[in-house]
Amino acid sequence: MSVARDVFTLLCLLAGAGFFLAGTLGLLRFPDSLSRLHALTKADNVGLALIVLGLLPQAGSVLDGAKMLAVWALVQIASGTVAQLLAQLAHGERGAQALADSAAPSPEGGPT
Amino acid sequence: MSLVLDSFLGVLALALALRVLLAREALAAAIGFVGLGLVLALLWVRLDAADVALTEAAIGSGVTGLVLLRTAAAAKPVAPQGVAVRGLAALIAFAVFCGLAALVLTLPEPAPSLADEAAAHLEATGLGNPVTAVLLVYRALDTLLETVVLLLALIGVWSLSADRDWAGAPPPLWRFAPTPPLVFLARILPPLGILMGLYLFWTGADTPGGAFQGGAVLAAAWLLVLLAGLRAPPAAGSRRLRALLLFGPALFLAVGALGVVFAGAFLAYPEGIAKPIILVVEAAITASIAVTLGLLVLDPPQPPGPLPVEGHSSP
C-alpha cells in the first residue's frame, strides 16, 4: 500500500516537474509576450496541480492536505488574473489598434 | 537531503543578489529583489525563524518590492555612472562587507544571547511568543518608534506632491480598464486576506505572526480592491484617514504614558493585565500599519479631475 502511494507521488511529481520545465522552456524560447504567458500559465495550472496531487497522499493530516489544496486554489485564481493583466499590458504596447481591442470587453483577452 | 536543500537555497540567494546588483535596468533589479526576498524567507524558515520569514515575505519582499517595482517602472532611465564612481561604490560596499564578516567571524563561541533571559520572563507578560514579547514588552520603545517611522515615510511620499494637491487623492493604481477576472479576484480574495491579516495579528501573541505581517496582508487586500477600481484611493486630506493613520501610534504612546502612572515606567504594563493591553495596542497598530503601508505603495496625492494617463486611455 505504502509502495503504491509512493509510486503515485513520484509519478505525479515527475509529471508536474515536466510541466514546469516545459513552461520555463516556453518562457525562455517563445517569440512574443502572449505566447510566453501562455506557456507560463500552463506550468502554473497543471504543473502545480500535479505536484499538489502527488503530495496529497503524503500529507500528515487532513489539515495539511487542505492547506496544500488551498495554496493550489489561490495560485490558480491569482495566476489566471495576473496573466490577464500582463496580456493587457502586452496589448497596450502594441499600439493604438490593439489598445482599442483590449479596452473593449473582448472574449480573447488572453490565456488563463 | 536537508543539506542539499539548504545549499541550493543559499546558492540561489547569492545568485539572485548578484543578479540584482548587476542588472542593467532598474526594473530588472527590482524584480530580482522580490525573488531574492522570497528565497530569503525560505532560508529563514529553514533556520526555524518563522517570525522573521513572515516579515521578510510580507514587508521585505512584498511591500518594499512593490514600492521598488512601481518606482522603477516610473523612473526615467539614467545613464550609468562612470567607472570611478562605480569603483568607489564597490570599494565602500566591499569594506562594509569585510567589516561585517570580521565581526561575525570574531563572535565568541557560543555567541552571546539573551534568549534565556527573554524566555525566563515570558510568563509575566502572558504571551506565548517570545518574539512578540521582545517587540511589545522588552523593546516596546523600538516598536513604537517603528510605527512612527512608517508615518514619517508616508509624509515623505506625500511631500512629493505639489502644495495645492496636498489634500487630494493618489491616482488610480492601474491605468487600464479592469478586466472581469481582476474584478472577480478583487471580490473573492479580500475576505480571505482580511481573515488572514487578522489571524496573523491575533496569533502573534502565542505563535509566529504579528502586527506588521498582519498589517501588510490587510494592506494587500485593500490594494487589490483599489487595483480593480472597486473603490477609489482616499483623499489624503480626509480627517477619517488621518485619524486612522495616527490611531495606532497615538494609542501606543498613550498606553506608554499611562505606564508611568500605573506601573512606574514609560511603556511598562501593570502586572496581570499585560496581555489584554498588548492585544489592544497590537490591534490598533495593525490597523494603522495596514493603511500606512497601502498609502506608501500608492503615488503621492494628485489634483482631482481627469488625470493625464501616459498615452493610454482609461474609461
Cα separation of B256 and B273, whole Å?
Answer: 14
- Would you state the pLDDT for residue B14? 95
Q: Is B181 on the interface with A (CB under 8 A)?
A: yes
Judged against a pLDDT cut of 60, whether residue A106 lies above it is answered with no
Cα separation of B239 and A54, whole Å?
Answer: 53
Judged against a pLDDT cut of 50, whether residue A112 lies above it is answered with no
* pLDDT by position in tens, chain B (length 315): 689 999 999 999 999 999 998 888 888 999 999 999 999 999 999 999 999 999 999 998 999 999 999 988 888 877 777 889 989 998 999 999 999 999 988 888 887 888 888 888 888 777 888 888 888 888 889 999 999 999 999 999 999 888 888 888 888 887 777 888 889 999 999 999 999 999 999 998 888 888 999 999 999 999 999 988 888 889 888 899 999 999 999 999 999 998 888 888 888 888 778 888 889 999 999 999 999 999 999 988 887 655 544 444 443
Q: Is A70 on the interface with B (CB under 8 A)?
A: no
Mean pLDDT value across residues A20-38: 87
Mean pLDDT value across residues A48-56: 92
Cα separation of B246 and B289, whole Å?
Answer: 10
Q: How close is the nearest chain A Cα to the Cα of B53, in Å?
A: 18
* Residues in B touching A77 (Cβ below 8 Å): 184-185, 188-189
* Residues in B touching A92 (Cβ below 8 Å): 176, 312
Is the separation of the CB atoms in B140 and B148 below 8 Å?
no
- Would you state the pLDDT for residue B304? 65
Is the separation of the CB atoms in B205 and B134 below 8 Å?
no
- Say yes or no: ipTM exceeds 0.95: no
Residues in chain A: 112
Task: Please tell me the pTM assigned to this model.
Answer: 0.84
Residue of A50 and B172 predicted with greater confidence: A50
Concatenating the DSSP letter of every residue in chain A gives: -HHHHHHHHHHHHHHHHHHHHHHHHHHHH-SSHHHHHHHHHHIIIIIHHHHHHHHGGG-SSHHHHHHHHHHHHHHHHHHHHHHHHHHHHHHHTT-HHHHHHHHS--TTS---
- Would you state the pLDDT for residue B312? 43
Is the separation of the CB atoms in A80 and A31 below 8 Å?
no
Out of A81, A99, A103, the one facing B182 most closely (by C-beta) is A81
Mean pLDDT value across residues A1-6: 85
Residue of A48 and B136 predicted with greater confidence: A48
Cα separation of B101 and B118, whole Å?
Answer: 27
Judged against a pLDDT cut of 60, whether residue A5 lies above it is answered with yes
C-alpha cell at B121: 520572563
* Residues in A touching B188 (Cβ below 8 Å): 77
- Would you state the pLDDT for residue B204? 87
- Would you state the pLDDT for residue B264? 82
Q: Do A103 and B313 touch (CB under 8 A)?
A: yes
- Would you state the pLDDT for residue B1? 62
Q: What is the dihedral of CA A8, A12, A14, A18, to 10 degrees?
A: 160
Cα separation of B150 and B147, whole Å?
Answer: 5
Is the separation of the CB atoms in B54 and B217 below 8 Å?
no
Residue of B219, B223, B237 lying closest to B303 (CA atoms) = B237
pLDDT in tens, B156-177: 999 988 888 888 888 888 777 7
Residue of B120, B166, B172 lying closest to B306 (CA atoms) = B172
User: If you measure CA to CA, which chain B residue comes closest to A90?
Assistant: B176
* Residues in A touching B73 (Cβ below 8 Å): none
- Would you state the pLDDT for residue B189? 92
